[in-house]
Amino acid sequence: MSSSSRTNDETSTSSTAKPILQPLPSLSSPQIQSHSTFLLDMWGVLHDGSQPYEGVLDAIEMLKKEGKTLVILSNSIGFNPTDFDNIITSGDVSHSLLQNQATSLGCSNWDMLSNIIKNNKDQRKVFVFGSGDNDKSYCNSAGWELSPIEEADLIVARGTFTINDGSTVISKKEEEEKYWKVMESALIKAAERKVPMLVCNPDKVRPDAGLPPMPGAIGDTYERFLWTTHCAPLGDMDELGARTYVKRVGKPFQEVYDIALQSCKGDVSSAIMIGDALETDVTGGNRVGCTTLWVIRDGIHGKDVEEKGAEGVVNGFNANSDFTYAYGEKVFPEYVVDSFRW
C-alpha cells in the first residue's frame, strides 16, 4: 500500500488534526532535495537491526553525489561510518557527560551531574542498568566506579539486559524474576535518596518484532517512583520536579541536536530530520524547528499505519502526547514517505 493511499484512508475529526500529511514518492522529491543537511535515524529507516533495507545503500550514494551533508543521529549504533559526515550517538554523548566534558562536543553539561563530579573528585559511584556490553569499562573510563545502589551517587541506564553493582551482575536472560525484583527494589531505594539517573538511550521500545523494553522505560518508571515518594502533601516534588532528576540523552532531547546542527552552521531551515518514530524523531525535529520526514513502512509504526492510516496514527499519538516525550505538545511531520529510497 502506498503512503498516499494510507494517508488518505482515514479522516480524523479530532481537535489535534492538521491539514493532511503530505506524502512524497521518494527522497528525490524537490521538497526533500531543497535541504542540505540530512539528520538520519538508523534503525527503522536505514536498517532493520541486522541489514540495510532495500534501496538504502543506493539512496545514500545518490545523496552523497548531490553533495548533501549526512549526519547519523541515533540512539543506537550499527552502520558503516565512512558513508556519513558525522555519527552522533546517545552513548557517546552520555560518556562525555559522565566526564563533565560535553561542551567539547558542542552541547551543555548536566548541572546536577556536574555538581556530583565536582564534589566527588576522588571517588564517584554509579549503579548500572546495563547492556551487558562493557558496562564496567564504559563507566570506569569516564571516572566512575560501580557500586551498590545504597552507595551510588548516580544511576546509569544504558541497557535492559543486566544489573551491575560492581560485585554482582544479574542477567535478565538467566534470572528474569530476580532481575525485575532487584530493579524495583533498587529504584525504590534510589528514589528515597533522590539519586539522579542518566538514561543513555531514551528509546522505550525497539522497532523489531519483539519490542522489548529499552532504557527509556526505566527512566519513566524511576520518575514515577520519585514522584510517588516525594509528592505533596508530605513531599516537595511534582511530576515536573521528578523529571529534573532523570537526564535523557538522545533523540528527541536537546544535546544531540545541538551537536548535529553544527553541520548546518545554525541554519536550521537547511536541515531535515528523517526518522520512523513519532516520539523521538518527529518530536525532536519539531522541537528544534527543522523539517521532518516520517518514514512509515519499515519502522516502529508500520503495522499501525497499515491499520489506521498515517493521519490516524499521528492523531492517536497526539491524543496521548502527555504520556510521551512530546510532554503534551502536538507533533506533525511535514512530509511522509514509504521508505528511504531514491
Among 215, 248, 281, residue at a domain's last position: 248
Angstrom distance (rounded) from CA 178 to CA 182: 6
The domain that contains 290 carries what CATH number?
Answer: 3.40.50.1000
* Statement to judge: residues 214 and 135 lie in one domain: yes
Number of domains in the chain: 2
pLDDT tens digits, one per residue of 117-174 = 999 878 899 999 998 889 999 999 999 999 999 999 999 999 999 999 999 999 999 9
* Statement to judge: residues 154 and 212 lie in one domain: yes
pLDDT at 80: 65
Angstrom distance (rounded) from CA 128 to CA 170: 11
- Read off the pTM: 0.89
pLDDT at 19: 53
- Grid cell 499521528 is found at 314
Q: Which structural domain range is residue 125 located in? A: 120-248
| Mean pLDDT per 10-residue interval, the chain, length 342 residues | 41 46 96 97 88 93 96 74 87 96 92 94 93 93 97 97 96 95 98 97 75 85 94 76 95 94 87 97 96 94 94 96 95 97 96
Q: How many CB atoms lie within 10 A of CB 341?
A: 18
* Statement to judge: residues 265 and 289 lie in one domain: yes
pLDDT at 79: 62
pLDDT at 12: 37
Among 216, 248, 280, residue at a domain's last position: 248
pLDDT at 207: 62
Closest CA to 183 of 173, 196, 172, 197: 172
